[in-house]
Amino acid sequence: MDYAEKYNEWLESPFVDEVSKEELRSIGNDDNEIRFRFSTALEFGTGGMRSKMGAGTNMMNVYTVGQVTEGLARMIEEIGQHAKDSGVIIGYDSRNNSSLFARRAANVLSSHGIRVFLFDDVRPTPELSFGIRYLGCTAGINITASHNPKEYNGYKLYWDDGSQPTSELAAKISEYIDSVDVLSGAPTDDKCDERFIKTVGKEIDHAFFESVLGEAVNPEIVKKAADGLKIVYTPLFGAGAKFVPEILKKIGLTRLVTVDEQMVHDGNFPGLSKPNPEYPASFELGIKLAEEVGSDLIIATDPDADRVGVMARDKNGCFQAVTGNQMGSLLLDYILSSLKEQNSLPEDAYAIKTIVTSEMATEICRRFGVKLYNVLTGFKFIAEVIRQHEEAGDGTFILGYEESYGYLKGMHARDKDSIVASMLICEMAAYYSLKGMTLIDAVDSLYKKYGFYTEQSAEIYKEGVEGKREISEMMDLLRNDPPKELGGNPVINVRDYLNQTSLDVRSGKVTETGLPRSNVMYFKNDSKDIVVARPSGTEPKIKFYILAYGESLNESRENAAACKLSLEKLLGLRPGELKK
């Protein structure tokens, strides 16, 4: 059945509601839109699924949510009664239709006699991960599209350890999903059995807060600095609105000022093209407020409160963004330094970062004698290392993080956690404020201590079916004709994570990468500069990461710019076409 036939099937189906049919009729003359919506099914992977909301097989709607949940229900049934009784916890963020999709998932599961724990309101993603472990659930579902534009929503699946599924598990779940007809395969809402649905909230909130508070490194330091520490916070209309202010107050912060316009749950994210704390534009209202109240620090979390971004004053009194790479290095250095000062740094301590995250972490861990793991992009790979140590009964987890503003300290969750990160950022800001330093000053001190690292990222969006093909062609080019030089320096190492090979260019020796299969290419030159390319698993884009090193900050920035120019030339792009 081609895309046009699928389109007509939806128009004629008795299972499709009239509002959806009217939406489909409105695009009847737009062949490109019909093709986008119906030429493929919404793909379920290790990150779940994510797309624009609307009618169609490639869109987020009650039908695709029902199909995926029915596949999950059938798999849980096959596992056995214990899995059904352990149940599934369901959370959702502040996006439009998130609560609707969450309820749809609950209805499908309950119709199979599977126990459901449904949060009573918007909750942070890390609390969903925590809730799985706290309740001993078989799985968890979180309805969120994280930091995507308002048109998007998504469906994240978590397994019994609180992390997202491995590739093998996701592939197995996909087989069940593929056996379900998107329109007629899942039970209708009138088949819901309310006896199996329990509303949850405050009990899990309390346990979650207690676990997060237990991760403080210097529990009293915020109280010592409270008089001189004023912080502005915005949840960007999302799930952090209640949780971040509460945790900061619990550790002793008395001068917290919130961006009130953005403290409400609003899935339209007014004034924001993307509710993403990675982008300085998200801080516009926060900066205005900080100038009014005289704050040196602004914290922002994304709609599902798993990521956190920060802006701090520099020596000239201007606000600068602290990048995800810089914040990860700051937290790692602060935690390890504090533990060492307290004579409580474990001998078996380990940290985890992704291959696209700053190499400064390598030097920090080397200096402290801490083992560092490098994993593929995606917090599930960080969670996998934690799980392996937990099962083996060895190692003390210190910190896991990725450049895209995601950090985790503690064993309470298996996904990035902006609540614990915000607490530690506040604590760290207090530590440096007592030394007369802002976090920008602290970043400068890290460069002087560990070396000069500059990280840049860029992306190219390619929408639709044609866009997928173009992204695939770019990856094929990098894989089949890898660059000989980057930034004027010869490439000495080429890693193809799809084929799991690592080529030492000088010797010609090929070894295994030691990491799972993934469509990622990695290049390193003889000046220690690194370029990584990977298509996004959740958005129609290809991302490039440049990790540069230099003998000074200017040199590292120049090396990053030169590598970017080499990449643009290789891809046949105009200079400057690769942008953040």
Number of residues assigned to the chain: 580
8 A C-beta contact, residue 37 and residue 54: yes
The residue among 459, 440, 455 whose CA lies nearest residue 310 is 440
| Interatomic CA distance for residues 556 and 550, integer angstroms | 4
- Residue reference for tokens 């937990």: 390
8 A C-beta contact, residue 88 and residue 141: yes
| Interatomic CA distance for residues 87 and 76, integer angstroms | 9
Chain mean position to CA 52: 18
Active site residue 146: yes
Q: What per-residue string of b and e applies to 40-53 under the rule 16 or more CB within 10 Å gives b?
A: ebbebbbbbbbbbb
| Interatomic CA distance for residues 75 and 67, integer angstroms | 13
| Interatomic CA distance for residues 335 and 187, integer angstroms | 50
The residue among 392, 233, 212 whose CA lies nearest residue 310 is 233
- Residue reference for tokens 């048109």: 151
Chain mean position to CA 249: 26
| Interatomic CA distance for residues 102 and 118, integer angstroms | 8
| Interatomic CA distance for residues 12 and 108, integer angstroms | 24
| Interatomic CA distance for residues 471 and 220, integer angstroms | 50
C-alpha to C-alpha distances, 408 to 77, 400, 401, 421, 422, nearest whole angstrom: 33, 5, 6, 7, 11
Chain mean position to CA 365: 23
Q: Which of the following is catalytic: 146, 163, 329, 433?
A: 146
8 A C-beta contact, residue 274 and residue 149: yes
| Interatomic CA distance for residues 238 and 235, integer angstroms | 5
Count Cβ atoms within 10 A of the Cβ of residue 505 and give its class: 0-12 exposed, 13-18 middle, 19 or more buried. middle
Q: What interhelical angle do 125-135 and 202-213 show, nearest 10?
A: 100
| H/E segment holding residue 492 | strand 489-496
HSE (side-chain half, CA atoms, 13 Å) at 199:
6
Q: What is the dihedral of CA 385, 390, 392, 394, to 10 degrees?
A: 90
8 A C-beta contact, residue 329 and residue 446: yes
The residue among 546, 498, 493 whose CA lies nearest residue 524 is 493
8 A C-beta contact, residue 332 and residue 349: no
Give the tokens for residue 568. 């643009």
Q: Active-site residue numbers?
A: 146
